[in-house]
Amino acid sequence: WEGLEGAELGQAFRFFPEVDSTQNAARRWFDDGAPHGAVVLAERQTAGRGRMGRQWVSPPGTGLWMSVILTDGLRLADVHALSLMAGLAVAEALEAFGYRPGLKWPNDVLLAGKKVAGVLIEGQGELDRLYFAVVGIGLNVRLPEAFPPELRTIATALAEHGPPPPRRKLAAAILSALDRELRAYRAEGFGPLRERWLVRAVSLGREIAVETGGGRIVGRFAGLDDDGKLLVETAAGLRAIASGEVRL
């Protein structure tokens, strides 16, 4: 890797031409003794997944499908912040290559309003201790002919916004940014990270609707709280939302 000297991430990695999901491969490697910061990459995933059992379309040669194993220095309470950190790391990496990404809570990276990357955090732990977390990042580099037509209205790829850099450069830039975010988070907490996230947020200050397990919440997107929960100013007062789907 270029630019990962001295980083805690990316010191060990495995590449698969084809795998069910890099998340599963990471989990298997963790069970088999993967070190902190180990990275799994795949050319193609046959069962790439998003959150809540959704599918992540991962055709061969068209994207960066990557999972990072974290075993040190995190608690279960940090997983929301981790999801925001990973999205921010992707955004910062893309900016370094001249793209202008936006962030959509909790885990989407957008280019011109369409999703170019998504983040999936999976893990296992107890309240104040995390055994491991797997940070999954899917980034579309180009959309193949066979990309599902119904997803074309919401999805985009780097190639639609400028000549994409090689995937290994993208991976190294994302890992290096995530490495920085993790260090900053440990040293200073979520505060500085929140500011960096919010300057890239789409729809800040505007009306949004959020589908939560407990129903639909409509209001003004007011910011993020200290844990990375979404703050929405509703007619009934300020609400902090831990998980849900934002409609812009």
Contacting residues toward ligand BT5, per CB under 6 A: 21-23, 45, 48-51, 54-58, 65-67, 107, 115, 118-120, 136-138, 140, 151, 155
Q: Which residue is nearest to ligand BT5 (CB)?
A: 118
Q: Which is nearer to ligand BT5, 115 or 229 (by Cβ)? A: 115
Rounded least distance, CB 87 to ligand BT5, Å: 9
Q: Do 177 and 139 meet the contact criterion of CB atoms below 8 Å apart?
A: no
Q: Do 86 and 118 meet the contact criterion of CB atoms below 8 Å apart?
A: no
Rounded least distance, CB 100 to ligand BT5, Å: 18
Tokens describing residue 64: 């960066």
Tokens describing residue 42: 């795949």
Tokens describing residue 225: 């709280």
Q: Which is nearer to ligand BT5, 61 or 189 (by Cβ)? A: 61
Rounded least distance, CB 197 to ligand BT5, Å: 16
Rounded least distance, CB 18 to ligand BT5, Å: 13
Rounded least distance, CB 75 to ligand BT5, Å: 22
Q: Which is nearer to ligand BT5, 130 or 139 (by Cβ)? A: 139
Contacts of 140 (CB under 8 A, 6+ apart): 62, 63, 116, 117, 155, 156, 157, 158
Rounded least distance, CB 232 to ligand BT5, Å: 19
CA distances from 222 to 207, 227, 240, 242 (A): 9, 14, 10, 14
Q: Which is nearer to ligand BT5, 62 or 176 (by Cβ)? A: 62
Q: Which is nearer to ligand BT5, 146 or 187 (by Cβ)? A: 146
Contacts of 166 (CB under 8 A, 6+ apart): none
Q: Which is nearer to ligand BT5, 118 or 219 (by Cβ)? A: 118
**What is the rounded end-to-end Cα distance, in angstroms, of the chain?**
37
Amino acid at 174: I
